[in-house]
Amino acid sequence: MIVASFFAPREDRWGCDYDRLLMLLDASCKRFGLQHVVISDEPRPAPLETAQFALPANLMQALLFGQFLFLNSTPGPVLFVGADCLIVKDPRPVLAGDLTVTIGPFSDCEMNTGAIWCADGPTCAPIWKAALESKPEKWGQDQTSLYAAVQACELGVGRVRCEDHNWAPDSAGDDAGLPTVAHFRGRRKAFMEDWAKRHLGIGA
């Protein structure tokens, strides 16, 4: 299984060093012998491995298009995570069916894209193509357009709880139940490095 994240600088919404966060993610992947690749439109700094593509200027479309291109060129299982995520437990056993998504108690979109498992890249790629056809432009529309495409697809889709597999700690001291993927949504990015050191023993 390849763990694929995304970072193509477009807007500085949270004021953080994403490459630094990606290096923490990379270290968390290595604990489980997982290859981590960053989808981007320019090389990320070493030791990060970059899958480089020409991407649209719009961030929502860049994210979905980059993931589509990566899936289309990557046979076998892929786990998409955010740049603001850490692998806490071996993610391989969570994959069920063609696609596994995490469902949470969210008002904007019940599926959260912080962790999405694909059993085979080219098999799942058409879902991302369908999401792109809706031309998402505004913040969050990457998630809603992708979920609509997931719901409309004919593949076998597994649904697991965000609370178990893609959850956000409330503070550096909160282990959040040690989910499969710890997701530092929003301003939580500020304590992601501290959390990684406390709970995973990685980082400076």
Point out which residues pair with 79 in neighbouring strands.
Answer: 3, 117
HSE-up (13 A, CA, CB side) for residue 5: 28
pLDDT score at 190: 94
**Confidence class for position 12, pLDDT limits 50, 70, 90:** confident
pLDDT tens for residues 149-176?
Answer: 999 999 999 999 999 999 999 999 999 9
Specify the residue for token string 């008002």. Answer: 107
Find the distance separating the first CA and the last CA of the chain, reported in whole Å. Answer: 27
Predicted confidence (pLDDT) at residue 14 exceeds the cutoff of 70: no
Distance of CA 145 to the CA centre of its chain: 16
pLDDT score at 183: 96
Q: Is 27 helix (H, G, I), strand (E, B) or coil?
A: helix
Query: Which is nearest to 116 in space by CA: 138, 149, 52?
Result: 149
HSE-up (13 A, CA, CB side) for residue 57: 0
Q: What is the CATH number of the domain that holds 105?
A: 3.90.550.10
pLDDT score at 204: 58
Q: Is 92 helix (H, G, I), strand (E, B) or coil?
A: helix
pLDDT tens for residues 73-124?
Answer: 999 999 999 999 999 999 999 999 999 999 988 878 899 999 999 999 999 9
When comparing pLDDT for 73 and 12, which is higher? Answer: 73
Q: H helices of 31-178, where?
A: 59-72, 121-133, 141-152, 162-165
User: Could you tell me the sign of the dihedral formed by the alpha carbons of 18, 20, 23, 24, in that order?
Assistant: negative
pLDDT score at 104: 87
* Average pLDDT rounded to a whole number, residues 1-25: 90
- What tokens appear for 154 in the block? 């004919």
Torsion of CA 46, 52, 58, 63, to 10 degrees: -80
* Average pLDDT rounded to a whole number, residues 1-12: 90
Q: Count how many domains the chain has.
A: 1
User: Could you tell me the sign of the dihedral formed by the alpha carbons of 131, 85, 159, 67, in that order?
Assistant: positive
Residue range of the domain that includes 118: 2-200
* Average pLDDT rounded to a whole number, residues 49-61: 96
